[in-house]
């Protein structure tokens, strides 16, 4: 690192505004750059044509300018660095910038992996024969894309944790590669304003992740305009990355400038570069060379002299480093060889490079998706695309013949580097997962009072001990192991640490000491739910990225799950992650003392919105065991690309033994747990979930004893699953009106039941209400809508109306609404049970 010379807004050290690697240290370029340039030009054309064509007849959108600025950054990677998957090598893991997707499709087209029809149907996935997804979405193109990136900031943080997870897998002996895969992540400079992008970068240095390379395409623009018009984004980023312990390589100026630097004996050229802000540099992009001569070089007479030999046009064409093949190669080579630190390449480019008048370097460039005929001709001429005038207006795709020098070169480079990228290859693997009987202990119940969290801790313990998949279990915790009672695992399984344990822990004398180890199994992430989710995703996709199925169990404070990092939960679906998410300390009233920002009554609803997520709200240990066992089977034997969300609570109660024949109901979402008293005329049904099933069970007794009501108590384990099944049937019925209608599970289950139906849970009412349309005669729901409060469980449950008394009153009210009991019975119960009818409603708006 050179001595710090200049301050930047971050206060961290920066080097002058020049290329980090001097021209003397530039290696010989190993490729045929002329052929590579022709190939790149074809990609530029096809990527542009794809977007322009799609938008000539539709309004599906797309981006031209991002790839236009990044083409060289990608092509150097494809031709010289990115290694594909081979027998004993999982392949480099490349996170492509989402908005550059047309460029990747254009390459796959030249490689012969995609057809003209595919390109024609860019962003028209429902067109006949299918189409290409807008951005990298493994859910939509499971054999092509590996990593979703387009929600800005997620690619960067995932790539960091992916690189660390690769090390973890290897340290634990779960992989056998000799050459370590590299993780490459391509980011926008605007994307760096996302907290997710930069918030975790110290991990890279701390873990010495020299298997990680970030390339930030510094075109100085985002969507609306400059990223830092009044400053310099490259300098700001350099300071931050250097401060965070990364190796920083700046690629600012192209080779044309090398000569100017030689001519400048005064040091004024560097001084002038340091003086200009990004807003100035953008102006030099769009104005003619005469403007740059006057305003940039012209500031100092000595500087003006060094460009005397250049025409205005030559000045205009002075390349930025990120468009210069040799400079980019130099940076990548140094990055790939660098030891001990991750590397960030800060490459300066022009947004919309090559679009000319149509948008090069302009503020509107990001939104550019159409080109008129004149602009198309200019583009064609600039990049020498053999397309004739008579067809140019149709923006035809162009692929040279298979025996052309370009295609041969391109295929040969990919052959040497091990195959095509991006590619998502899933090799079949069927780990030996335990069957249901492995969890037999859970079915006996326990008289000792325990919580579902404790039941989970027992479950993960026996899974870790399992001979078949014990080693594949990845427990992930964001600094809450002690809260959940998982700290006992520290000693037995160790916390993964690439450095082992360099100190004697303060509790070394105790049985459960804080144990870090190089082959530790637990990922103790510290207080980062985003980082923990990134680890969950890396582990949950290892079946695809490494051909090694690992099984993540990520346990966290449920309030800080989808509410806090919901975009990563959504991404887990897109990327086809598998595993178990455990939202512990769940329940607006069950977690009682922590108050408004901790008490969660809505994560189940968030989780319900993710198409591949199965949310469950188990009440008892045996339910949890049945769900986990079936999850293991579905995800790792049947190979379904789904994941599970389980609410866990910290209320202790005795766990009943499993009634016979309830497994199917547990998995489908509802089963009768305990029938109401015999011989009563009035019938009701109470659906309870989680610990609040206790309210239902006690209400059942009171209803029978005092009000002559026989109430069955049902355990509702998953309202979402009941709902999706009902919707599926309903839609089928709508589309097949002449055929015998299908009946959903919930309709079949409840078809013959009489009386009123009530649901009570520690969640907002919308959670049970998901099935209301299919409950005979409707569903009356009690729930915990509104902000939480700190108090005792009893008072909170009365406040929200989910305690025993409220459940009795609610059931009588639902019966009264059906004229099955008189209203005076409800009034009497309110009085008898001491509930204040004027108590405030927690939900005010």
Residues near ligand TPP (CB under 6 A): 66, 99, 150-153, 188-191, 217, 219, 221-223, 227, 351, 366
Minimum CB separation of residue 566 from ligand TPP in Å reads 12
Query: What is the DSSP secondary-structure string of 59-127?
Result: -----SHHHHHHHHHHHHIIIIIPPPPBTTB---EEE--GGGHHHHHHHHHHTTSS-HHHHHTBT-TTS
Cα-Cα end-to-end distance for the chain: 57
Chain center to CA of 727: 27
Cβ-closest position to ligand TPP: 188
518: three-class secondary structure by DSSP: coil
Nearest distance, CB of residue 279 and ligand TPP, angstroms: 15
CA distances to 400, 477, 723, 739 from 117, in Å:
16, 46, 38, 38
Taking the CB of residue 736, how many other CB atoms lie within 10 A of it? 11
709-716/670-674 β-pairing: antiparallel
- Report the C-alpha gap between 18 and 329 in whole angstroms: 17
Cα dihedral 455, 457, 459, 465 sign: negative
Report yes or no: 454 and 625 within 8 Å, Cβ to Cβ: no
Question: Are 774 and 724 contacting, i.e. CB atoms less than 8 angstroms apart?
Answer: no
Of 188 and 783, which CB lies nearer to ligand TPP in the complex structure?
A: 188
Least distance between ligand TPP and beta carbon 186 (Å): 9
Give whichever of 333 and 348 is closer to Mg ion, judged by the CB atom.
Answer: 348
Q: Which residues sit at the interface with Mg ion, rule CB under 5 A?
A: 188-190, 219, 221
Shorter beta-carbon distance to ligand TPP: residue 150 or 607: 150
Q: Give the residue with the Cβ less far from ligand TPP, 217 or 446.
A: 217
Return the closest-CA partner of residue 512 out of 451, 457, 446, 582. 457
Nearer to Mg ion, 188 or 688 (CB): 188
> How many CB atoms are located within 10 Å of the residue 836 CB?
8
Q: Which is nearer to Mg ion, 188 or 239 (CB)?
A: 188
Backbone dihedral region for residue 209 (phi beyond 0: left; psi -120 to 50: alpha; all else: beta): beta
Residue 223 binds which entry of ligand TPP, Mg ion, none, with Cβ cut-offs from 5 to 8 Å by kind?
ligand TPP
Closest separation in Å from C-beta 130 to ligand TPP: 24
Structure tokens belonging to residue 645:
């969300």
- Least Å distance between CB 192 and ligand TPP? 7
Is the Cβ of residue 278 or residue 487 nearer to Mg ion in the bound state?
278
Our CB check for Mg ion shows the closer of 137 and 366 to be: 366
CA distance 598 to 591: 8
Nearer to Mg ion, 252 or 627 (CB): 252
The encoded tokens of residue 228 equal 């830092």
Residue 417 interacts, among Mg ion, ligand TPP, none and using kind-specific CB cut-offs from 5 to 8 Å, with none
C-beta of 217: minimal distance to Mg ion in Å? 6
Q: Which does 76 bind (CB under 5 to 8 A by kind): Mg ion, ligand TPP, none?
A: none
For ligand TPP, which is the closer residue by CB, 346 or 809? 346
* 633 closest CA partner among 840, 446, 468: 468
Q: CB 223 → ligand TPP: shortest distance, Å?
A: 4
Residue 325 interacting entry, from Mg ion, ligand TPP, none, C-beta within 5 to 8 Å by type? none
When CB distances are held under 5 to 8 angstroms depending on the partner's kind, the choice from ligand TPP, Mg ion, none that residue 55 binds is none
DSSP secondary structure letter of residue 535: H
Q: How far is CA 519 from CA 173, 178, 489, 749, in A?
A: 8, 18, 14, 49
- Partner whose binding site includes residue 151, from ligand TPP, Mg ion, none (CB under 5 to 8 Å by kind): ligand TPP
Residue 217 or 521: the one with the smaller Cβ distance to ligand TPP is 217
Are the CB atoms for 155 and 97 separated by under 8 Å? yes
With residues binned 3-state (H G I as helix, E B as strand, rest as coil), the percentages for the chain, rounded to 5, are: 45, 15, 45
Q: Which one of ligand TPP, Mg ion, none is in contact with 495 (Cβ closer than 5 to 8 A by kind)?
A: none
In the list ligand TPP, Mg ion, none, the entry touching 91 (Cβ below 5 to 8 angstroms by class) is none
| Minimum distance of Mg ion from residue 366's CB (angstroms) | 8
Locate 93 and state its tokens.
């893991």
d(CA 48, CA 260): 33
CB of 198 to ligand TPP, least distance (A): 13
191 binds, among ligand TPP, Mg ion, none (CB under 5 to 8 A by kind): ligand TPP
Q: In what order do the strands lie in the sheet with 212-218?
A: 93-95, 183-188, 212-218, 343-348, 247-251
Q: Which does 207 bind (CB under 5 to 8 A by kind): Mg ion, ligand TPP, none?
A: none
Q: How far is the CB of 29 from Mg ion (least distance, A)?
A: 26
Judged by CB, which is closer to Mg ion: 221, or 700? 221
Q: Are 83 and 418 within 8 A, CB to CB?
A: yes
Least distance CB 278 / ligand TPP (angstroms): 12
From the CB of 151, what's the least distance to ligand TPP, in Å? Answer: 5
């Amino acid at each position: 690192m050179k001595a710090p010379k200049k301050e930047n807004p971050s206060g961290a050290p920066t080097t002058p505004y020049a290329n980090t690697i001097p021209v003397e240290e530039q290696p010989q370029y190993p490729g045929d750059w002329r052929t590579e340039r022709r190939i790149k030009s074809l990609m530029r054309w096809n990527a542009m044509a794809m977007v322009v064509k799609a938008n000539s007849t539709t309004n599906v959108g797309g981006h031209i300018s991002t790839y236009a600025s990044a083409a060289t950054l990608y092509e150097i990677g494809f031709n010289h660095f990115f290694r594909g998957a081979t027998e004993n090598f999982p392949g480099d893991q490349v996170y492509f910038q989402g908005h550059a997707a047309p460029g990747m499709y254009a390459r796959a087209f030249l490689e012969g992996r995609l057809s003209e029809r595919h390109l024609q149907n860019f962003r028209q996935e429902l067109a006949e024969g299918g189409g290409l997804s807008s951005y990298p979405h493994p859910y939509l193109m499971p054999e092509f894309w590996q990593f979703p990136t387009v929600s800005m900031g997620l690619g960067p943080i995932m790539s960091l944790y992916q690189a660390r997870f690769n090390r973890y897998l290897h340290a634990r002996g779960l992989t056998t590669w000799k050459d370590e895969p590299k993780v490459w992540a391509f980011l926008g400079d605007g994307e760096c304003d996302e907290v997710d992008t930069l918030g975790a970068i110290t991990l890279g240095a701390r873990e010495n992740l020299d298997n990680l390379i970030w390339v930030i395409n510094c075109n100085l623009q985002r969507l609306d305009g400059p990223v830092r018009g009044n400053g310099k984004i490259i300098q700001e980023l350099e300071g931050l990355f250097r401060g965070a312990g990364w190796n920083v390589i700046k690629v600012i100026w192209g080779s044309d400038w090398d000569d100017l630097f030689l001519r400048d004996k005064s040091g004024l050229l560097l001084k002038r570069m340091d003086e200009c802000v990004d807003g100035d540099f953008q102006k030099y992009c769009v104005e003619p060379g005469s403007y740059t001569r006057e305003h940039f070089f012209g500031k100092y007479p000595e500087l003006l002299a060094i460009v005397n030999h250049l025409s205005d046009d030559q000045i205009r064409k002075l390349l930025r480093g990120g468009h210069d093949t040799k400079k980019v190669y130099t940076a990548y080579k140094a990055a790939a060889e660098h030891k001990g630190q991750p590397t960030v390449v800060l490459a300066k480019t022009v947004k919309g490079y090559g679009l000319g008048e149509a948008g090069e370097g302009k503020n509107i460039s990001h939104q550019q998706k159409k080109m008129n005929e004149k602009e198309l001709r200019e583009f064609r001429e600039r990049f020498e695309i053999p397309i004739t005038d008579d067809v140019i207006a149709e923006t035809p795709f162009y692929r040279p013949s298979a025996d052309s020098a370009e295609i041969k070169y391109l295929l040969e480079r990919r052959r040497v580097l091990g195959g095509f990228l991006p590619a998502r290859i899933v090799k079949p693997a069927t780990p030996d997962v335990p069957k249901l009987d492995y969890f037999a202990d859970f079915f006996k119940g326990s008289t000792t009072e325990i919580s579902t969290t404790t039941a989970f801790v027992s479950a993960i313990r026996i899974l870790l001990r399992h001979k078949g998949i014990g080693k594949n279990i990845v427990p992930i915790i964001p600094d809450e192991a002690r809260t959940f009672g998982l700290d006992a695992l520290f000693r037995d399984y160790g916390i993964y640490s690439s450095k082992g344990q360099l100190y004697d822990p303060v509790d070394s004398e105790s049985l459960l000491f804080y144990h870090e180890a190089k082959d530790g199994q637990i990922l103790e992430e510290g207080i980062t739910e985003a980082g923990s989710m990134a680890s969950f995703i890396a582990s949950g996709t290892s079946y695809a990225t490494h051909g090694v199925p690992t099984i993540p169990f990520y346990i966290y404070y449920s309030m800080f799950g989808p509410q806090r990092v919901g975009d990563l939960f959504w991404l887990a679906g897109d990327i086809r992650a598998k595993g178990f998410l455990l939202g512990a300390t769940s329940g607006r009233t069950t977690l009682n003392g922590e108050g408004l920002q901790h008490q969660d009554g809505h994560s189940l609803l968030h989780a319900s919105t993710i198409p591949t997520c199965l949310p469950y709200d188990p009440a008892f240990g045996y339910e949890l065991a049945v769900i986990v066992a079936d999850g293991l089977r579905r995800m790792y034997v049947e190979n379904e690309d789904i994941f599970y969300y389980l609410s866990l609570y910290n209320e202790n109660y005795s766990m009943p033994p499993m009634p016979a024949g309830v497994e199917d109901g547990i998995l489908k979402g509802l089963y009768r747990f305990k029938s109401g008293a015999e011989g009563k005329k009035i019938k009701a049904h109470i659906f309870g979930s989680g610990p609040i099933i206790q309210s239902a069970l006690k209400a059942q007794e009171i209803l029978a004893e005092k009000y002559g009501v026989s109430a069955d108590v049902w355990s509702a384990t998953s309202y979402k699953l009941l709902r999706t099944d009902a919707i599926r049937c309903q839609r089928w019925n709508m589309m097949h009106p002449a055929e015998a209608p299908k009946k959903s599970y919930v309709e079949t289950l409840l078809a013959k039941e009489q009386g009123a139906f009530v649901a009570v849970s520690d969640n907002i009412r919308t959670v049970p209400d998901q099935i209301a349309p299919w409950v005979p005669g409707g569903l009356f729901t009690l729930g915990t809508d509104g902000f939480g409060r700190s108090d005792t469980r009893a008072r909170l449950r009365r406040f929200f109306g989910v305690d025993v008394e409220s459940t009795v009153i609610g059931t009588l009210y639902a019966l009264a609404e059906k004229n099955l009991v008189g209203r005076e019975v409800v009034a009497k119960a309110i009085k008898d049970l001491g509930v204040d009818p004027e108590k405030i409603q927690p939900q005010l708006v």
